[in-house]
């Protein structure tokens, strides 16, 4: 059945194409045959005195139309297959020209006519000669082409807008996909690892719809909506899929961009249609993914005086969610990673009563996510899930799923029958640092500088108390970096100035090592300097961790500074901020140099081992420095 439908659509397409080609051909042929040649008066009187002119018509006292006799018609005119020859001889003029003085022309015409004994007819036409029949004959083909073209375009637009028959009137219909009990949705809350707090609130929403009397008998009201907020990949859409799998009520799913269209009023029409369908299916759930596509705060970055289709769509959504006659069991779920730009009217109680934060998973939650994704993989018995969870701080659920998939691909590439721990570490390296480039040509002196640079990072991170301990360091090029080191950062909710300074010191250790060993520095510390500058700037400007600036933060959580060109502090304060940032960085740079100079032999030993093996692990640093001690 599907193949027949596709075939019939293709047949209709070719029929339209052939019809358009035929009409275009006729139109252009007709226009080419009916284009008279423009001449001047001198040329006219030359052919006039030869007796070739049958008749002339003077229109509006300024334009002369010249009709030639039958025997003087061009060969092309005589063999024209589309126009009757008799009609050409009687109705078609071959030349035209303009005259200045009508009396002078008429007098000269009469003189030549009498002198050469000619019977040429002269006529005058000052009224409008177009009739409805003639207008349709001249422009009818073009109008037919235009109508066919627009019918074809509207059919295509209607087809993309949904609805039977692909009619243009369906463009205002909602594009939401409906899931009900007949759909086999296999994702449930058991498939959503971690996110326990978010799952509890979402499960409660499902319970609201299943047994509303349990909550309303005490006088409570069912929430109108819940907004899922979180970074990309944290599981917002997965939660919504689980709701669709768990709920025994109809579930409408669509994206915020599905409301947006180039035609004015379409977005608002689709919102109305969506809620009308939802009310018919009540109780039900509407899920709008990426709601920031239509929910952006009104008045920002819009052209003054313009009719913003997105704002019209948002206004209609606000009305449907909390307007007159909205006492129905329809709950709206929405997801976004840009909650800071959403309109305040959308976030108020009565519309989105609940805001559910979907944070990146913690250590135990990452372990649960690994267990879900590792079920389908063939693993070695030595694979340590706890170790993998510790190696992925800050990773989202999507990142962990990608790591599991990459590890399987790496193991298959190496012709292994099982996935090992090393494959997971290689997958993490691949995702964080990029593809390994062992064939990249590096000069020996550059390779030595890279080794000392990375050894400096590894050494300082091992010796400082608050710096993240090393997991792996390598001088094999990967992605855009010539060398890299992986650390195991401590998962903490609060950070002190001492911890931030230790991190800055560890980042500056690479350049410090270069200066100590080679008495010069290179451009290899670009990424380190960028991180250091942002870290020091956040200490002074955002977190109020600087004594000279004091307990002041210039951070704007509302995002209003994005739309202004002025700084929230004076020029004098800006100068102090610059000085304090430079002071923090210079102090930690000197500190890193002092630590490295005091341990220069161990630094050289570590760098030489790195040159020899290219990759060193935590155990290698233990052999050189012993267990971590924090005397620095």
In this predicted structure, the answer to whether residue 550 has a pLDDT above a threshold of 50 is yes
State yes or no: is 454 an active-site residue: yes
Helix (H, G, I), strand (E, B) or coil at 437: coil
In the predicted model, what is the mean pLDDT of residues 485-504?
84
Whether this prediction's pTM lies above 0.85 is answered by no
Percentage with pLDDT > 90 across the chain: 17
Q: Which CATH class is domain 444-625?
A: mainly alpha
Top pLDDT among 163 and 109 is at 109
| Gap between the Cα atoms of 191 and 586, Å rounded | 50
Q: What is the pLDDT of residue 80?
A: 44
The answer to whether residues 487 and 503 touch, using CB atoms and an 8 Å cutoff, is: no
Banded model confidence at residue 409, pLDDT cuts 50, 70, 90? very high
The answer to whether residues 616 and 458 touch, using CB atoms and an 8 Å cutoff, is: yes
At which residue do the structure tokens 């400096």 appear?
Answer: 456
Nearest to 589 by CA among 517, 548, 522, 528: 528
| Gap between the Cα atoms of 362 and 18, Å rounded | 63
Most confident of 156-160, 228-232, 475-479: 228-232
Q: CB within 8 A of 563, min separation 6: which ones?
A: 300, 301
The CATH 3.40.50.300 domain(s) of the chain lie at: 174-358
In this predicted structure, the answer to whether residue 311 has a pLDDT above a threshold of 60 is yes
The length of the chain in residues reads 632
In this predicted structure, the answer to whether residue 287 has a pLDDT above a threshold of 50 is yes
In this predicted structure, the answer to whether residue 71 has a pLDDT above a threshold of 80 is no
In this predicted structure, the answer to whether residue 326 has a pLDDT above a threshold of 60 is no
Top pLDDT among 140 and 492 is at 492
Across the beta sheet with 177-179, what order do the strands follow?
Answer: 177-179, 251-255, 284-289, 330-336, 225-230, 354-358
| Gap between the Cα atoms of 404 and 409, Å rounded | 9
In the predicted model, what is the mean pLDDT of residues 172-178?
71
Banded model confidence at residue 223, pLDDT cuts 50, 70, 90? confident
The CATH code for residues 363-433 is 1.10.8.60
Helix (H, G, I), strand (E, B) or coil at 306: coil
Q: What is the pLDDT of residue 161?
A: 46
- How many CA atoms lie less than 13 Å away from 151 in the CB half-sphere? 12
In this predicted structure, the answer to whether residue 511 has a pLDDT above a threshold of 90 is yes
Q: What is the pLDDT of residue 77?
A: 47
Phi-psi region of 40 (alpha: psi -120 to 50; beta: other; left: phi over 0): beta
Secondary structure (H, E, C), 239-256? HHHHHHHHCCCCEEEEEH
Max CA-CA distance within the chain?
127
The answer to whether residues 5 and 63 touch, using CB atoms and an 8 Å cutoff, is: no
pLDDT digits (tens, 9 = 90+) for 428-453: 888 877 777 767 778 888 889 999 99
Fold of 36-129: name from scop (3.40.1690)
Cα angle vertex 449, ends 444, 450, to 5°? 95
Structure tokens at 95: 């030349």
In this predicted structure, the answer to whether residue 1 has a pLDDT above a threshold of 70 is no
Q: What is the pLDDT of residue 519?
A: 92
| Gap between the Cα atoms of 594 and 274, Å rounded | 67
Banded model confidence at residue 506, pLDDT cuts 50, 70, 90? very high
Banded model confidence at residue 86, pLDDT cuts 50, 70, 90? very low
In this predicted structure, the answer to whether residue 584 has a pLDDT above a threshold of 80 is yes
| Gap between the Cα atoms of 361 and 235, Å rounded | 10
Q: Is the dihedral of CA 83, 89, 91, 92 positive or negative?
A: positive
| Gap between the Cα atoms of 191 and 625, Å rounded | 45
In this predicted structure, the answer to whether residue 523 has a pLDDT above a threshold of 70 is yes
Q: What is the dihedral angle through the alpha carbons of 203, 209, 211, 217, rounded to the nearest 10 degrees? A: 110
Banded model confidence at residue 201, pLDDT cuts 50, 70, 90? confident
The CATH 1.20.58.760 domain(s) of the chain lie at: 444-625
Q: Residue 424's beta-bridge partner residues?
A: none
Top pLDDT among 523 and 90 is at 523
Surface-to-core class of residue 202, CB atoms within 10 Å of its CB (0-12 exposed, 13-18 middle, 19+ buried): buried
Top pLDDT among 164 and 609 is at 609
Which of 454, 503, 514, 580 is labelled catalytic? 454
Q: Is the dihedral of CA 337, 342, 345, 348 positive or negative?
A: positive
Q: What is the pLDDT of residue 90?
A: 47
Q: What is the pLDDT of residue 167?
A: 46
pLDDT digits (tens, 9 = 90+) for 347-373: 888 888 888 888 888 888 889 899 888
The kind and range of the H/E element at 483 are none
Surface-to-core class of residue 104, CB atoms within 10 Å of its CB (0-12 exposed, 13-18 middle, 19+ buried): exposed
In this predicted structure, the answer to whether residue 257 has a pLDDT above a threshold of 90 is no
The CATH 3.40.1690.20 domain(s) of the chain lie at: 36-129
Q: What is the pLDDT of residue 304?
A: 42
Banded model confidence at residue 560, pLDDT cuts 50, 70, 90? low
| Gap between the Cα atoms of 478 and 475, Å rounded | 9
In this predicted structure, the answer to whether residue 539 has a pLDDT above a threshold of 90 is yes
Q: Buried b vs exposed e over 522-538: b needs ≥16 C-beta within 10 Å?
A: eebbeebeeebbebbbb
In the predicted model, what is the mean pLDDT of residues 167-189?
67
Query: Which CATH code of 1.10.3720.10, 3.40.47.10, 3.40.50.720, 3.40.50.300 fits the domain covering 174-358?
Result: 3.40.50.300
């Amino acid at each position: 059945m599907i193949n027949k439908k596709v075939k019939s659509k293709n047949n209709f397409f070719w029929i339209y194409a052939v019809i358009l080609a035929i009409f275009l051909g006729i139109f252009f042929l007709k226009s080419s045959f009916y284009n008279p040649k423009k001449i001047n008066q001198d040329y006219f009187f030359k052919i006039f005195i030869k007796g070739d002119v049958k008749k002339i018509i003077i229109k509006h006292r300024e334009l002369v139309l010249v009709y030639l006799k039958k025997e003087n018609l061009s060969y092309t005119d005589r063999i024209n297959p589309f126009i009757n020859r008799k009609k050409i001889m009687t109705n078609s003029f071959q030349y035209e020209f303009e005259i200045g003085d009508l009396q002078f022309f008429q007098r000269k015409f009469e003189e030549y006519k009498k002198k050469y004994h000619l019977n040429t007819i002269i006529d005058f036409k000052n009224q409008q000669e177009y009739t409805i029949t003639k207008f349709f004959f001249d422009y009818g083909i073009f109008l037919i082409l235009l109508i066919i073209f627009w019918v074809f375009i509207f059919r295509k637009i209607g087809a993309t807008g949904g609805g039977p028959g692909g009619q243009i009137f369906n463009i205002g219909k909602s594009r939401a996909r409906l899931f009900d009990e007949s759909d086999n949705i296999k994702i449930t809350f058991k498939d959503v690892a971690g996110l326990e707090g978010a799952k509890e609130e979402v499960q409660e929403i499902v319970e609201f719809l299943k047994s509303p009397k349990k909550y309303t008998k005490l006088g409570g009201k069912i929430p109108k909506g819940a907004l899922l907020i979180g970074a990309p990949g944290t599981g917002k859409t997965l939660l919504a899929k689980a709701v669709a799998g768990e709920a025994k009520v109809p579930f409408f799913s669509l994206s915020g961009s599905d409301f947006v269209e180039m035609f004015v009023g379409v977005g608002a029409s689709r919102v109305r249609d969506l809620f009308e369908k939802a009310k018919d299916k009540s109780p039900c759930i509407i899920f709008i993914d990426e709601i920031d596509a239509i929910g952006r705060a009104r008045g920002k970055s819009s052209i003054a005086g313009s009719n913003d289709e997105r704002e019209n769509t948002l206004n209609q959504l606000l009305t449907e969610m909390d307007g007159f006659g909205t006492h129905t069991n329809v709950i709206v779920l929405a997801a976004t990673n840009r909650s800071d730009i959403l309109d305040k009217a959308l976030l108020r109680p009565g519309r989105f009563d609940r805001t559910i934060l979907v944070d990146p998973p913690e250590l135990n939650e990452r372990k649960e996510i690994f267990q879900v994704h590792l079920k389908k993989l063939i693993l070695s018995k030595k694979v340590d899930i706890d170790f993998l969870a510790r190696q992925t701080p800050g990773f989202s659920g999507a990142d962990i799923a990608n790591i599991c998939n990459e590890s399987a691909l790496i193991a298959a590439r190496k012709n292994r029958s099982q996935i090992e721990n090393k494959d997971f570490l290689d997958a993490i390296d691949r995702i964080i640092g990029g593809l390994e480039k062992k064939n990249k040509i590096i000069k020996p002196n550059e390779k030595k500088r890279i080794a000392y640079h990375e050894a400096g990072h590894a050494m300082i991170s091992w010796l400082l108390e608050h710096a993240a301990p090393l997991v792996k360091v390598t001088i094999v090029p990967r992605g855009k970096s010539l060398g890299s080191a992986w650390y195991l950062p401590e998962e903490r909710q609060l950070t002190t100035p001492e911890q931030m300074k230790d991190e800055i010191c560890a980042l500056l250790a690479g350049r410090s090592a270069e200066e100590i060993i080679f008495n010069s520095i290179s451009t290899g510390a670009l990424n380190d300097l960028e991180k250091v500058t942002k870290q020091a700037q956040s200490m002074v400007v955002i977190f109020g961790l600087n004594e000279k600036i004091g307990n002041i933060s210039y951070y704007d959580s509302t995002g209003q500074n994005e739309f202004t060109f002025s700084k929230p502090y004076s020029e004098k304060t800006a100068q102090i901020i610059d000085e304090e940032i430079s002071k923090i960085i210079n102090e930690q740079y000197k500190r890193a140099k002092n630590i490295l100079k005091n341990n220069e032999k161990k630094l050289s030993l570590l760098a030489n081992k790195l040159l020899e093996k290219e990759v060193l692990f935590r155990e290698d640093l233990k052999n050189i420095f012993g267990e971590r001690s924090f005397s620095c």
